[in-house]
Chains A and B, each alone.
Chain A
Amino acid sequence: MSAGHHRFVSTDRRVREDRRFVAGKGRFVADIDLPNTKHVALVTCPYPAARMISIDKRAALAMPGVHYVLDGRELAAATLPLMTGLDTPNVPRRPLAVDTARYSGEWVAAVVADTRALAEDAAEEIDIRYEPLPFVLDAEQAIEPGAVLVHEAHGSNVLLDRTFVWGEVEKDFAASPRRLSLRVKWGRSSTVPIETFGVVASWDPWRDVLDVYASIQMPKYPEQIAMALRLPASAVRVHYDVDVGGSYGVKRGIKHSVLVAYLTRRLGFPVRLVEDRLENMRGGDAHGPERLFDVDVAFDDSGIVRSMKMRALENVGAYAGRSPFQLGKPIGAIVGPYKIKSVQYRAIAAVTNKTTQDAVRGFGQAPTNLALERMMDEVGNVLGLDPLELRRRNMIQHEEFPYTIPSGTTYDSGDYHTVVDKVVAHTSYHEIKAERDRLRAEGKLAGIGVAACLEPSGGNASFEPLLNPKNATTTWMDSCRIDVDLTAAITATMHTSSAGQGHETLVATVIGEVVGRDPDSIRVVRANSLNSLPSNSPVGSRMAIMLGGAAFHAAHKLKAKLAAIGAHDLGIPAEHAVYEQGNVYDRAAPDKRRTWEELVAIAHRNFHRLPEGFEPGLAVAHVYQVPTGGTLPTADGRVQMYPCFSFEFHLLLLSIDPDLGTPRIVRYRLGHDCGTVINPKIVRGMTMGGIAHGIGAALYEEFAYNEDGQLIAQTFMDYLLPSSHEVPAVEIIHHETPSPHTVLGQKGSGESGYLGAPAAVANAINDAIRPLGISINTLPLNVSKLGDLIAEARARKGN
Chain B
Amino acid sequence: MRIKLTVNGAENTLEVEPRTTLLDCLRDHLGLKGAHAGCEHGVCGACTVLFDGVAVRSCLMFAPQAEGTPITTIEGVTPGPGELSPLQDAFCETHGLQCGYCTPAMILVAHALLADNPNPTRDDIVEAISGNLCRCTGYAQIVEAIALAADRIRGSNRPSELRK
Closest to A686 in B: B98
Question: Is B139 an interface position by the 8 A CB rule?
Answer: yes
**What 0/1 readout, one digit per residue, does chain A (109-142) give for beta carbons within 8 Å of chain B?**
0000000010000000000000000000000000
Q: Flag the segment in B63-71, B113-121, B125-133, B154-162 that touches A.
A: B125-133
Candidates A19, A24, A277, A681; contact of B34 at CB < 8 Å: A24
Scan A322-361; emit 1 where CB is below 8 A from any B CB, else 0: 0000000000000000000000000000000000000000
Bound Cα distance from A319 to B41, whole angstroms = 29
Residue of B nearest to A753 (CB): B138
- Shortest A284–chain B CB gap in Å is 13
**Closest CB of chain B to A326's CB: distance in Å?**
20
Contact B141 A688 (CB under 8 A): yes
Query: Is B30 engaged at the interface, CB distance under 8 Å to the other chain?
Result: no
Contact indicator A716/B43 (Cβ below 8 Å): yes
Docked complex Cα distance between A317 and B108 (Å): 40
Bound-state CA distance A692–B137 (Å) is 8
Option from B32, B92, B101 in Cβ contact (under 8 Å) with A14: B92
The reply on B17 being an interface residue by CB < 8 A is yes
With beta carbons under 8 angstroms apart, the residue of B46, B97, B138, B140 that contacts A21 is B97
Considering only residues 689-718 of chain A, those with a C-beta below 8 Å from chain B are 689-693, 715-717
Contact (A724, B36) CB under 8 Å given A117-B19, A681-B94, A730-B140: no
* Nearest-CB residue, chain B, relative to A118: B17
Give the docked Cα–Cα distance between A194 and B103 (Å): 11
Closest chain B residue, CB of each to CB of A117:
B19
Which applies to chain B's interface (DSSP): helix, strand, loop or mixed?
A: loop
Given known A-B contacts A24-B33, A277-B39, A193 and B78 have beta carbons under 8 A apart: no
Question: A117 to chain B: which residues have CB within 8 Å?
Answer: 17, 19-20
Residues of chain B within 8 A (CB-CB) of A195 are 36, 38, 46, 99, 101
Interface centre among B19, B32, B92, B100 (most CB of A within 10 A): B100
* B99 contact from A499, A691, A717, A729, Cβ within 8 A: A499
- Cβ–Cβ < 8 Å partners of B74 in chain A: 23-24
The answer to the question of A207 belonging to the interface, with a C-beta cut-off of 8 Å to chain B, is no
* Complexed CA–CA distance, A22 and B149 (Å): 13
Tell me if B58 counts as interface (CB < 8 A to partner A).
no
Bound-state Cα–Cα, A23 to B104, Å:
7
Asked whether A22 lies within 8 Å of B138 as measured between CB atoms, the reply is no
B93 at the interface (CB under 8 A from A): yes
Among A15, A31, A276, A500, the one with the most B-chain Cβ atoms within 10 Å of its Cβ is A500
Q: Does B102 reach chain A (CB closer than 8 Å)? A: yes
Is A213 at the interface (CB under 8 A from chain B)? no
Find the A residue at minimum CB distance from B31.
A33
Check B134 for interface membership: any CB of A closer than 8 A.
yes
CB distance from B133 to the nearest CB of A (A): 5
Decide yes or no whether A183 CB sits under 8 A from chain B: no
B107 touches A245 (CB 8 A): no
Q: Give Cα A152–Cα B91 distance, bound, in whole angstroms.
A: 54
Report the separation of the CA atoms of residues A245 and B46 in the bound assembly, to the nearest whole angstrom: 11
Task: Tally B residues with Cβ within 8 Å of A.
Answer: 55
Residue of B nearest to A193 (CB): B135
Residues of A within 8 A of B98 (CB): 246, 499-502, 685-686, 689
Taking a contact as CB atoms under 8 Å apart, the answer to whether A22 and B84 are in contact is yes
A contact residues around B131 at 8 Å (CB): 723
Q: Is the CB of B41 within 8 A of A685?
A: no
Docked complex: B70-110 residues within 8 A CB-CB of A: 73-75, 78, 84, 88-89, 91-95, 97-104, 107
- In the complex, the chain B residue whose C-beta lies closest to that of A15 is B95
Cβ–Cβ < 8 Å partners of B25 in chain A: none
Q: Please state if B100 and A26 are interface contacts (CB–CB under 8 Å).
A: yes
Interface: A257 (CB within 8 A): no
A688 adjacent to B34 (CB under 8 Å): no
A727 within 8 A of B: yes
CA distance A274 to B23 in the complex (A): 15
- Whether B100 lies near A243 (C-beta < 8 A) is yes
**Cα distance A724–B99 in the bound complex, in angstroms:** 17
- Per-residue CB contact flags for chain A residues 738-768 toward chain B (1 = under 8 Å, else 0) read 0000000000000001000000000000000
Q: Specify which chain B residues have a CB less than 8 angstroms from the CB of A689 in the assembled complex.
A: 98, 135-138
Chain B residues with CB under 8 A of A208: none
Residues in A671-686 with C-beta less than 8 Å from chain B:
681-682, 684-686
With the chains together, A716 CA to B38 CA distance in Å?
Answer: 10
Q: Are A246 and B101 in contact (CB under 8 A)?
A: yes
Whether the pair B78, A24 counts as a contact (CB closer than 8 A) is yes
Residues of B near A500 (CB, < 8 A) are: 97-100, 136
- The complex places the Cα of A21 from the Cα of B95 at a distance, in Å, of 11
Set of chain A residues within 8 Å of B94, measured between Cβ atoms? 681
Q: Which chain B residues in 4-33 approach chain A with CB under 8 Å?
A: 17, 19-20, 27, 32-33
B71 to chain A, nearest CB (A): 14
Who on chain A is nearest to B103 by CB? A21
A191 within 8 A of B: yes
Q: Is residue A20 contacting chain B, with contact meaning CB distance below 8 A?
A: yes
A19 & B138 in contact (Cβ 8 Å cutoff): no
Measured CB to CB, the nearest residue on chain A to B134 is A194
Q: How far is the CB of B23 from chain A (nearest CB, A)?
A: 11
- A residues 498-525 touching B (CB-CB < 8 Å): 499-502
Residues of A within 8 A of B150 (CB): none
Q: In the complex, what distance in Å separates the CA atom of A717 from the CA atom of B92?
A: 31
Pair B37/A721 contact, Cβ less than 8 Å: no
1/0 per residue, CB under 8 A from B, across A14-57: the answer is 11011111111110101100000000000000000000000000
Chain A residues with Cβ under 8 A from B101's Cβ? 26, 28, 193-195, 245-246
A440 and B38 CA atoms in complex are apart in Å by 41
- Report chain B residues within 8 Å CB of A248: 135
B36 touches A18 (CB 8 A): no
Question: Which residues in B have their C-beta under 8 angstroms from that of A716?
Answer: 39, 41, 43-44, 133
Contact call A192/B135, Cβ cutoff below 8 A: yes
| A725 interface residue per 8 A CB criterion | yes
Question: B46–A194 contact, CB under 8 A?
Answer: yes
Docked Cα-Cα span, A192 to B99, in Å, equals 13
Give bound CA distance, A246 to B137, whole Å.
11
Is there contact, CB below 8 Å, between A14 and B143? no
| CB-CB nearest in chain A for B76 | A24
Of the candidates A30, A194, A724, the one whose C-beta lies within 8 Å of that of B130 is A724
B138 CB, nearest partner CB in chain A, Å:
3
Inter-subunit contact B78/A23 (CB<8 Å): yes
Q: Which of B73, B93, B99 contacts A245 (CB 8 A)?
A: B99
Give Cα A307 to B100, complex, Å.
45
Expressed in whole angstroms, the Cα–Cα distance for A31 and B46 within the complex equals: 14
Q: Is the CB of B73 within 8 A of A24?
A: yes
Residues of A within 8 A of B143 (CB): 724
Q: Which residues of B contact A685 (CB under 8 A)?
A: 95, 98, 136-138, 141
Q: Are B40 and A724 in contact (CB-based, < 8 A)?
A: no
How far is the CB of B66 from the nearest CB of chain A, in Å? 18
Question: Nearest CB to that of B143 among chain A residues?
Answer: A724
Q: Is the CB of A477 closer than 8 A to any CB of chain B?
A: no
Give A668 to B115 CA distance when docked, in angstroms: 32
Give the most central of A17, A22, A499: most B CB within 10 Å: A22
Chain B minimum-CB-distance residue to A725: B130
Report how far A791 CA is from B46 CA in the complex, Å.
39
Task: Give the CA-CA distance A11 to B34 in the complex, in Å.
Answer: 31
Query: A22's contact among B38, B44, B103, by CB below 8 Å, is which?
Result: B103
B114 to A: closest C-beta gap in Å: 15
User: CB-CB < 8 A to A480: which residues of B?
Assistant: none
Contact between A681 and B95 (Cβ–Cβ < 8 Å)? yes
Considering only residues 292-326 of chain A, those with a C-beta below 8 Å from chain B are none
Determine if A244 is an interface residue (Cβ-Cβ < 8 Å). yes
* Complex A-B, nearest 7 residue pairs according to Cβ-Cβ distance, in ascending order: A24-B34, A21-B100, A500-B99, A500-B98, A245-B101, A688-B138, A692-B138
What are 14 residue pairs bridging A and B, where the CB atoms are less than 8 Å apart in the complex? Answer: A14-B95, A22-B84, A23-B34, A193-B135, A195-B101, A244-B99, A245-B36, A248-B135, A274-B37, A501-B98, A686-B98, A688-B139, A688-B140, A723-B133
14 other A-B residue contacts (CB within 8 Å) besides A277-B40, A716-B41, A724-B143: A14-B93, A24-B35, A24-B74, A26-B103, A194-B36, A195-B36, A195-B38, A245-B99, A246-B136, A277-B41, A501-B98, A681-B94, A689-B138, A724-B132
